[in-house]
């Protein structure tokens, strides 16, 4: 084993890695002896080091004051915008919560940077590494989230209802909380304790159900000979690669030949067992996706075959015959169930906001934009459908693809050079805009005052906004179809798809233009506020996991397109909208069957009449129904 494994800080993760390497190269006996000696060494050095947890080891960053006051100014600006009626109450709330969440993270980063610097405590002695930092950084105990509360700022708190309180806790535990801050903290702490008590039973029950279902999945044969599999890609979130493709396919069998991107050179033939070396080659070649054998697609008569299962993670070898893999899987999912429940309790209910509003390039290359866009008045391209994809091309090969939402501003042009970490697109995560593709004059249709549109005057600011109200609630409004048309002369302007420029407005849309206004392409004519930031608290963890395994249809589930085609809105049926997807005529001149959906009228439909959509696109947003996903894929 090379010495290079030791030339770095040996954190908990690195030590695990080291033991893994020893086991792979030297077998079980050597590993046992090695681990024992490692433990002896650890205890001896830890005793000599005499690390203690002192109050002066918790450093409050010098820039905290400045960051807090900057955020305060920003929040005051948002309050002012709200007072001037530029944004709604919900938008203001979201922006304020977002600003404070970002500030908390920045204070925490400053603190981690300061605490990581060795400092000279006694003149003439060697600088001393901060002991609290050592504990957290080595992975022994404590985490950045806990240190942030001790030395940074405690941040935003959640109300018992799960909403986030707008005013954050600016103090940390070292400075001490004010009475009001302490009171606000109590919600989270109490909720955590109550949850813990209630969820242990829940978690145990989940494990029991899982084992009951999975117990007859046993490895019964070597190879079922299936050629099916699932396609895996790297997990990318907000421009960062969280899990590389290599890590995802490690220990699996390839279902088909793995080729180099852009070429036909075969890296590994089908049915190759992908181990560490193969995985490294896949990552270096920059392969985008790999189809691997999976227990989901195994064709064994009873149980599962060894090739579809792949590596036995407990032993690091091929799985043995007769291994009860079903029970192992069930227990592995059930075991963290109790932690899913208590996780809230460690951090004391500090809320984090999980919304993304931009994508960044992880590679340098040139941009390729696929999908309908228009150039707006500000000169940037604007995505005009939900299928706009920005691809980064490196040396003629597609290296990464990002799907951007409808209405996003693209910061790059077709064929432009991109640097690593450059912003490709950005959008407002809290509102869905309705944009016009063409220029012209706005014409309101079926927007009847008091029936389908109402003026909402904000009590705090006294500014009126026009909001589309639920027109079906009164018998007079049953046949209205509130919409905004864009006209040139007397006729509608035509869209690229050939249909009229009419935009149907959902309930709750805020009108951004008036009747008779002139608009330019890519201009926002209305906006639909989306639901605000609820804490994505891990308490959502256990019920969500249970829901996935029960394969229930979630409430308000998403409607997913079952095939590629063009959207048409048919005649309404009672209180439902009829949406038809007509497939395009294929190369043989054959046109497939059209599919119809009936959708309740209050739902916001995220496609427009005449849009081209692809199989698997969402017609209505929401949690996808697992049955739909399986059927469509």
User: What would the DSSP string read from start to end of 28-53?
Assistant: HHHHHHHHHHHHHHHHHHHHHHT---
CB 468 within 8 Å of CB 508: yes
| CATH classification code of 358-427 | 2.40.50.100
| pLDDT tier, 494 (very low <50, low <70, confident <90, very high otherwise) | confident
Instruction: Choose from 55-69, 229-243, 608-622 the range with maximum mean pLDDT.
Output: 55-69
| pLDDT tier, 307 (very low <50, low <70, confident <90, very high otherwise) | very high
Whether 358-427 and 433-529 share one fold: the answer is yes
In this predicted model, what pLDDT tens digit does every residue of 234-267 receive, in sequence order?
Answer: 877 655 677 888 889 999 999 988 888 777 788 8
Q: Read off the pLDDT of each residue in 478-497 and give the average, rounded to a whole number.
A: 76
Which alpha helices (DSSP H) does 84-219 contain, by range? Answer: 89-116, 131-137, 144-151, 179-214
CB 123 within 8 Å of CB 83: no
Q: Which residue has the higher pLDDT, 405 or 76?
A: 76
Cα dist from 97 to 71, 74, 78, 154, 499, whole Å: 11, 11, 11, 14, 41
| pLDDT tier, 543 (very low <50, low <70, confident <90, very high otherwise) | confident
| pLDDT tier, 530 (very low <50, low <70, confident <90, very high otherwise) | low
Q: Say what the alpha-carbon torsion angle 212, 214, 218, 221 is, to the nearest 10 degrees.
A: 140
Q: Read off the pLDDT of each residue in 9-33 and give the average, rounded to a whole number.
A: 89
Q: Which of 67-71, 395-399, 473-477 has the lowest mean pLDDT?
A: 473-477
Q: Which of 5-14, 126-135, 451-460 has the lowest mean pLDDT?
A: 451-460
Q: Say what the alpha-carbon torsion angle 340, 346, 351, 354 is, to the nearest 10 degrees.
A: -50
446: left (phi over 0), alpha (psi -120 to 50) or beta: left
**Mean pLDDT, the chain, integer:** 81
Q: Which residues of 512-545 are buried (b: 16+ CB within 10 A; e: fewer)?
A: bbeeeeebebbbbbbbbbbebbebebbbebbeeb
Show the tokens assigned to 207.
């494990």
CATH for 433-529, options being 3.50.30.30, 3.30.56.10, 2.40.50.100, 3.40.50.2300:
2.40.50.100
In this predicted model, what pLDDT tens digit does every residue of 130-167 receive, in sequence order?
Answer: 888 888 888 888 888 888 888 888 888 877 776 778 88
pLDDT at 617: 77
Domain boundaries, the chain: 12-175, 219-323, 358-427, 433-529, 551-632
pLDDT over 50 (residue 536):
no
Alpha-carbon gap, residue 295 to 147, rounded angstroms: 41
Show the tokens assigned to 514.
């008036």
pLDDT over 50 (residue 348):
no
Alpha-carbon gap, residue 110 to 107, rounded angstroms: 5
State whether the Cα torsion 93-97-100-102 is positive or negative: negative
Query: Above pLDDT 70, what percent of the chain?
Result: 88
Nearest Cα to Cα of residue 526 among 534, 538, 514: 514
State whether the Cα torsion 217-218-220-224 is positive or negative: positive
Which of the 8 DSSP states describes residue 509?
Answer: P
According to CATH, the superfamily of the domain at 12-175 is RNA polymerase Rpb1 funnel domain (1.10.132.30)
Q: Which residues contact 303 (CB under 8 A, 6 or more apart)?
A: 216, 217, 218, 219, 220, 221
pLDDT over 60 (residue 345):
no
Alpha-carbon gap, residue 466 to 484, rounded angstroms: 13
In this predicted model, what pLDDT tens digit does every residue of 577-619 receive, in sequence order?
Answer: 788 888 877 666 677 778 888 887 666 676 766 667 777 777 7
Alpha-carbon gap, residue 405 to 403, rounded angstroms: 7
pLDDT at 119: 82
pLDDT over 90 (residue 74):
yes
pTM for the whole structure = 0.64
In this predicted model, what pLDDT tens digit does every residue of 411-434 receive, in sequence order?
Answer: 888 888 888 878 888 887 767 788
Q: H/E/C letters for each residue in 515-561?
A: CCCEECCCCEEEEEECCCCCCCCHHHHHHHHHHHHHCCCCCCECEEC
Query: Above pLDDT 90, what percent of the chain?
Result: 13
Query: Quick one: CATH architecture of 551-632?
Result: Beta Barrel (2.40)
pLDDT over 70 (residue 344):
no
Which of the 8 DSSP states describes residue 491?
Answer: E
Show the tokens assigned to 253.
């069998």
In this predicted model, what pLDDT tens digit does every residue of 33-53 receive, in sequence order?
Answer: 999 999 999 999 989 988 888
Rg, the chain, Cα only: 29
pLDDT at 501: 76
pLDDT at 352: 42
CATH fold for the domain made of 219-323: Molybdopterin biosynthesis moea protein, domain 2 (3.90.105)
Number of other residues whose CB lies within 10 A of the CB of residue 613 = 20
Instruction: Report the run of H or E that residue 326 belongs to, with start and end.
Output: helix 325-334
pLDDT at 589: 67
């Amino acid at each position: 084993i090379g010495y290079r494994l030791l030339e770095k800080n040996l954190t908990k993760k690195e030590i695990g890695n080291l033991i893994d390497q020893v086991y792979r190269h030297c077998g079980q006996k050597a590993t046992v002896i090695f681990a024992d000696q490692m433990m002896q060494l650890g205890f001896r050095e830890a005793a000599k080091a005499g690390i203690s947890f002192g109050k002066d080891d918790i450093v409050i960053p010098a820039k905290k004051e400045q960051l807090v006051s900057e955020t305060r100014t920003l929040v005051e600006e948002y309050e002012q915008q709200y007072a001037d009626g530029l944004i709604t109450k919900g938008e203001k709330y979201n922006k304020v919560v977002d600003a404070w969440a970002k500030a908390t993270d920045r204070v925490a980063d400053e603190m981690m940077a300061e605490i990581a610097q060795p400092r000279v405590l006694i003149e003439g002695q060697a600088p001393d590494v901060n002991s609290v930092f050592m504990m957290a950084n080595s992975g022994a105990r404590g985490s950045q989230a806990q240190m942030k509360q001790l030395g940074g700022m405690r941040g935003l708190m959640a109300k018992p209802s799960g909403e986030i309180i707008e005013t954050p806790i600016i103090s940390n535990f070292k400075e001490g909380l004010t009475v009001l801050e302490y009171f606000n903290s109590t919600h989270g702490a109490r909720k955590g304790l109550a949850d813990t008590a209630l969820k242990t039973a829940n978690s145990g029950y989940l494990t029991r159900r899982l084992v009951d279902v999975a117990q007859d999945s046993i490895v019964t044969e070597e190879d079922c000979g299936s050629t099916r599999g699932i396609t895996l890609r790297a997990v990318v979130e907000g421009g960062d690669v969280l899990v590389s493709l290599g890590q995802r396919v490690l220990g699996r069998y390839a279902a088909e030949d793995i080729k180099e991107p852009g070429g036909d050179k075969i890296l590994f033939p089908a049915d190759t067992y992908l181990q560490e070396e193969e995985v490294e080659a896949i990552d270096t070649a920059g392969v985008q996706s790999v189809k691997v054998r999976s227990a989901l697609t195994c064709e064994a008569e009873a149980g599962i075959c060894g090739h579809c299962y792949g590596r036995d993670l407990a032993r690091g070898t091929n799985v043995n015959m007769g291994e009860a893999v079903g029970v192992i899987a069930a227990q592995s999912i059930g075991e963290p169930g109790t932690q899913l429940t208590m996780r809230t309790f460690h951090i004391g209910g500090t809320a984090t906001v999980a919304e993304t509003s931009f994508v960044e390039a992880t590679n340098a290359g040139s941009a390729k934009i696929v999908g309908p866009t228009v150039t707006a008045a500000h000169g940037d391209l604007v995505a005009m459908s939900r299928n706009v994809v920005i691809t980064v091309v490196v040396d003629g090969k597609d290296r990464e693809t990002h799907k951007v939402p409808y209405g996003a501003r693209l910061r790059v042009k077709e064929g432009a050079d991109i640097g690593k970490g450059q912003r490709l697109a950005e959008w407002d995560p809290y509102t869905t805009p309705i944009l016009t593709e063409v220029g012209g004059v706005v014409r309101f249709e079926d927007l009847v005052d008091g029936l389908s549109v109402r003026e909402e005057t904000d009590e705090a600011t006294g500014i009126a906004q026009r909001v589309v109200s639920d027109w079906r609630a009164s018998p007079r409004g049953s046949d209205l179809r509130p919409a905004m048309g864009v006209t040139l002369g007397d006729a509608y302007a035509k869209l690229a798809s050939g249909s009229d420029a009419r935009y149907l407005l959902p309930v709750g849309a805020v009108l951004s233009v008036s009747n008779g206004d002139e608009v330019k392409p890519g201009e926002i004519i209305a906006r639909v506020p989306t639901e605000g930031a609820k804490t994505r608290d891990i308490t959502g963890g256990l019920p969500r996991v249970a829901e996935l395994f029960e394969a229930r249809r979630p409430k308000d589930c998403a409607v997913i397109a079952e095939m590629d085609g063009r959207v048409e809105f048919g005649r309404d049926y009672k209180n439902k909208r009829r949406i038809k997807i007509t497939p395009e005529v294929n190369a043989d001149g054959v046109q497939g069957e059209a599919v119809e959906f009936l959708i309740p009228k209050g739902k916001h439909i995220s496609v427009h009449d005449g849009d081209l959509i692809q199989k698997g696109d969402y017609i209505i947003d929401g949690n996808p129904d697992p049955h739909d996903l399986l059927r469509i894929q």
